[in-house]
Structure 1
């Protein structure tokens, strides 16, 4: 069964939900953001958590009201519900014009909408109930929101970690028909991107790897066990604390910056490597080479890598290719 519903949201709520859909790579075939597909997953994966947390809050408020004043259970329930719906919605309910979106549901999301309509609306509309659910979702840190949207993947990884099982999967960014076989060690959040990364050991290549949770597909927990390496675990933890986006070995790097580079280093904070020491215009780092490359690509001539030679050559190649592209 498929059904369509009109849902009214403020522009701010719609924009933030669309931003999540884009970050978590929900796209249509034409490359546009697929907000409807994202909202269907949100409803399915967050419904139970939202309903249970709201019920706990309402019960707590009812109990507090009953303890303070003499009031019937029915009246305390109404008052508690009014408190939640009136005062606990944060800044999302500013006098902002609403915009309508068409939500098309089917399968599990259709069933959940039916449950909401038949049991949970009380004095509110379906649009109001879903809007409140979306507001609640957006109040959660983004790294936790990613876990909600990719709950099945996170659950499979957690199971594999606890049982020390090898897993296989593909990714949305790898070449077609590429499958990874890894020993999963833990999941680490990134403060800058607010995403979660699977930190693991590649069984075939025998090297540590990291994968963003939202980019994993076709994940499968095999029956094969692996021997948990405590030394590797501690090493990976140390690297993940620095930057879970890359757990490759670190390099000793020296970068010479002019005044513009120094200024950029202060303000470009996303994925910025930790500074080991500074001597005049020379900046020293002990960091992942890949992360250093990605970070300093944004600096151009304002930051020149002196060491290591491998990193210097990679950036030279990057800029040479850019020059060739702009020449024609």
Structure 2
């Protein structure tokens, strides 16, 4: 069955963003919305909300959704009104809620594996991995959903965006024994970088402190200040992501491995500018 409706332009823009973000086609998105979203048509909501500028939406219902739609109640409603209200209600939800709707099948499979203590085989864009899944968590501030699990490929605990999971298969093997207290603390203190329990110590100059007060994106949690030492909770990746922009306004003190990584980045940057300067000198000589 083909559906042809007009919807508010701002609703269509949200749907377009989801199509791009989730990397699925328009027809599949609309079918997943109808298949997965808890929705009941409400005649009281179908009013003048559609007087704004509109855009056309066209899609074809899958066989499963075609059968789902044909109930005695739905047949009393014009299908254009029914599906218009469906898409509007979907668009009114937050981004992380919409993500859970679109990836409901994967999320339910993950929850099943966690509940039954099973390993899972997960397919991402470019590779597969065997995971011991621990928990799924939603960050309302970031409007994102994450799976936290142990990766056999990487041999470490990682967080994954739910939207990046292409398929999930529950395996017969049980998960490995893990530190339940640590995982619970990780959940209660969650950030996507899994910074809990990891410390980075830095020293700012005067300009660095001013810069720190202004830059809040990816800023690690400040645990304490001890004289000139600022102690943050962050893993090395998050620390590099945040502090690299400080240039000469910060010095990484600990851990030593992070300090070495920063030194290597500085060396590469100096090399780039040395090469650039040499080329400029040659051009000036000419």
Q: Which interval holds the TM-score relative to the shorter structure?
A: 0.7 to 0.9
Match of residue 265 from structure 1? 215
Shift of residue 223, structure 1, vs aligned partner? 0.8
Q: Is the 8 A contact 1:9 1:99 kept in 2?
A: yes
Structure 1 Cα separation of the partners of residues 261 and 43 of structure 2: 60
The equivalent position to 2:175 in structure 1, one of 226, 234, 239, is: 226
Superposition RMSD on alpha carbons, in Å? 3.4
Shift of residue 314, structure 1, vs aligned partner? 3.4
Change (3 A) 1:191 1:5: closer
Structure 1 Cα separation of the partners of residues 265 and 64 of structure 2: 47
Shift of residue 317, structure 1, vs aligned partner? 4.7
Q: Is the 8 A contact 1:201 1:209 kept in 2?
A: yes
The equivalent position to 1:291 in structure 2, one of 211, 215, 238, is: 238
Structure 1 Cα separation of the partners of residues 144 and 151 of structure 2: 21
TM-score under structure 2 length normalisation:
0.78
Change (3 A) 1:6 1:278: farther
Change (3 A) 1:84 1:38: closer
Shift of residue 158, structure 1, vs aligned partner? 0.8
The equivalent position to 1:50 in structure 2, one of 23, 39, 42, is: 39
Q: Indicate the SS of the match to 1:224.
A: strand
Match of residue 122 from structure 1? 76
Give the aligned length.
271
Change (3 A) 1:99 1:222: same
TM-score under structure 1 length normalisation:
0.69
Match of residue 83 from structure 1? 44
Tell whether 2:90 aligns with 1:137.
yes
Structure 1 Cα separation of the partners of residues 13 and 210 of structure 2: 34
Q: Indicate the SS of the match to 1:50.
A: coil
The equivalent position to 1:26 in structure 2, one of 23, 41, 48, is: 23
Tell whether 2:198 aligns with 1:250.
yes
Aligned structure 1 segments of 4 or more residues deviating by more than 6 angstroms: 279-282
Q: Any stretches of 5+ residues in structure 2 without a counterpart? A: 280-286
Q: Is the 8 A contact 2:120 2:168 kept in 1?
A: yes
Match of residue 58 from structure 1? none
Match of residue 149 from structure 1? 102
The equivalent position to 2:131 in structure 1, one of 171, 179, 182, is: 182
